[in-house]
Structure formats: C-alpha cells, structure tokens
Amino acid sequence: MMYYDIISGLIVNILRVLLVRKMMELFLPAEDADEKKLQAGWIVYYLMTTFLYSLFAISVLSEIVNYLGILGLTICYQETWKKRVWISLVIFSVDMACSLAVYLAFAQKLTAHQRAIQTLLLLICVTVISHIAYPADSREIAFDRRQTCIFILIPAASVFILCLLLCGKSEGVTALLICVSTLIMNLSVFYLYHMMAENYRNLRENDIYRQQTCAYKNQLDVIMESQSRIRALRHDMKNHMLALQMLLRKRDWEEATAYLGSMQDFMANPAEYIATGNDTIDSLLNYKLQRANDVLNTVEAKVSIPEKLILHSFDLNVVLGNLLDNAIEAAVRTEEKKLRIAMKLEKGMLYINIRNSCQGIAGGKLRHLETTKEDAPNHGIGLNNVRRIVEKYHGDMELICENGCMEADIIMYIKEL
C-alpha cells in the first residue's frame, strides 16, 4: 500500500506541476524564455515539491518552498519583476487554496486519492482561468504602481489567510468555506485583470488611430499648401516665361539658372519632408519629422517607397510611430540632437533604419528598453508590440547602442504590387 501511495503521489504531482506551468504560461510569454533553463527548472521544482510533500505533507515549510519554486521559475520568462511577483503569488494562492480545501475537508489527512482530488480541483481552476485569460497580444501591458499594488495585495492577503488556517490546524465547514471563498476571490482577480487588459489595449489602439488622424490632417494641410503654391506660380507663369525668354536671348545663363532655382524654391513646401506618393507613409513621416525639426538640431530622412505597398496602415503606425517617438524623445535629451531615418523597399523586403543620439543607455545589442516617463503605462505601446508586428511580416528587429547613438534596424517581408 505504501508503494502504491508513493507511485500515485509521483504521478499526481506530475499533473499538478503541468497545471501550474499551464497557468503560468497563460500570462508569461513562453516564446521569450530560455527553454533549457526552463525545462531544468521545472524538473527541479517537481522533484523538490514531491520530496517535501512526501515527508511533510501540507505544512508551512512545504508551502514556503513551493512558493519560492514558483517565483524562481518566473525568472526564466521575460517580464518585469512586479508582474513576476503578482503571477507567482496568484498561482501559489490558487494552488494552496486547492490543497488546503481538500486537506481540511478530509480532517487534515493526505492520501493518494485526496491528492488526486486536489489536482482535479486545480484542473478546474486552470480551465476557468484559460477561458478568461487576456489575449496573447496584450501580454506586454503593464499597469501603474497603484494598480500593481492592488493586484499583488489580493493574492498576498489570500496566502496570509490560508497560512493562518494551516498554522491554526483549523478544520470543519468554516475553514473549508474560507478556502473556497479565497479560491473564488483569486479567480475573480483573473477576470478583473482580463477586463482591465482589454480596456487598456483599446485605449492604446485609440491612441494609435488618434495619431493616425493627426498625421492625415497634417498631410492634408501639406497638400493644400503645395496646391496653393502651384496656383500662385501658375497665375504668374506668363510673366515668368517672359522673364526667362529675355534672359535666354541675352545668353545670361547664370541668371536664368538662378531664376529657375528661385521658381523651384518657391514651389518647395517646407512642411513636406517626404513625398513618395504613398499617402500613409507620407502623412505619418511628415507629421513626425515636423515635430522632430522643431526640437532637434539635425534631422535627415531618406525614403524610397513605392506608391502602393501591401502593409496595413495600423501596423505601420505601430512600428514607425513608436520607434520615431522613442528616438525623438531620446535625442532631445542629448547635446547633438540628431535623428536619421532611412526606408527602402527592395525585392519584397522593407528596410527601416532609425538612428538617433542618446545618453544613459548601456552599449551593445538590446532586447528591451524601459520608458523614462513617470506615467509609463500610458505612453507608447512598447517595443514588444513593435516586435510582434515585425514578426507578423516574418521580419526581424535589432537594437544596437554604441558611441552615444541608438540604432534600430528592421526588416519586414512585404508583397509588392
């Protein structure tokens, strides 16, 4: 019978560990994790919890080690420490509530059958969470300090209550109801998190569309100004032609060339930095570069893009808008105040290079950049979203900081018409 309990315990704990991993990967991006370290970490976690539960059953020591193991596993994922703490606490509180509910319901006994019931209860919880977890494209959402503290406080308070029940050797209906209520409360937090993440994502999308609208409005002003200059030049074209004819008869080539240059300068619109014929790119870049020229010393732009490009305007706003905003904000804090952007489409590959002066950033290749604004969650949409758009077009993005300059290199595969 003892061997049966040991084998059953090993199998049941495998299922429990798999459920904990499933719950963790609902909220932490597994694709960015170090797979080898992660696999080794889960094996160590399984062996450690199996050994402790077999010796001490459900106890303060085993639960402390259980939480430290869950928290340690979150380090393998690319996330902020605040989110790691919250995720580890809420997963641990759900797991502990399931364990303690069964433990207290059976008068503080823990047999193989009861461990199976505990795992089944955890499976139900994971199934519920799977249906309310927020979408994958919202994983990089980060809340402010107040919101984060509230999210951390709820599972932390739950763990405290459950520890009091465990230490007090409580049993009976009251203790069971407390465990179930704690479990429902933590599951409700997931639903609340889902709703806030959805709302947060909608606000960010609205911000992108608002910027797009401003860009189109700016481009309309640019077009109207250009048309006004054309009409003015056309109105005086007869006089200009007569003046040029007179200069040519005199063979005054230098003066004729200067006169043509004056006509060209008159036609040039200072607000039109980019004129590729692609309305989406022209409007966005003219809008951003106008702002850059107002605050920076040197702004260079070299863009070679066809009029027709199979690229969703929203995706383009996410990539160019976010990178240019970051570049301008970083460059304006430096003495050089330099910005350079280059774009070209060649053989179905869209190349984007943005280079700006920067300071206070470690050199080398970078994976993430933290915003320096106090209200970080309400500004920008994050480089993770930019990477996701780039990957959507089967491309790649590389960030390099060296010699006081930040450079973003992007390649995306775009179909040409």
In the predicted model, what is the mean pLDDT of the chain? 76
CA nearest neighbour of 262 among 233, 291, 282: 233
Distance CA 110, CA 104 (A): 9
Half-sphere exposure for 112 (CA within 13 Å, toward CB): 12
- Report the pLDDT value the prediction gives residue 378, as an integer from 0 to 100: 41
CA 9 to chain centre: 40
The whole-model pTM stands at 0.57
CA 353 to chain centre: 20
- Report the pLDDT value the prediction gives residue 167, as an integer from 0 to 100: 78
Unique residue bearing structure tokens 């823990």: 110
The parts of the chain modelled with pLDDT lower than 70 are 1-6, 8-9, 29-34, 107-113, 133-144, 169-172, 204-205, 207-209, 211-244, 247, 259-273, 275, 362-382, 415-417
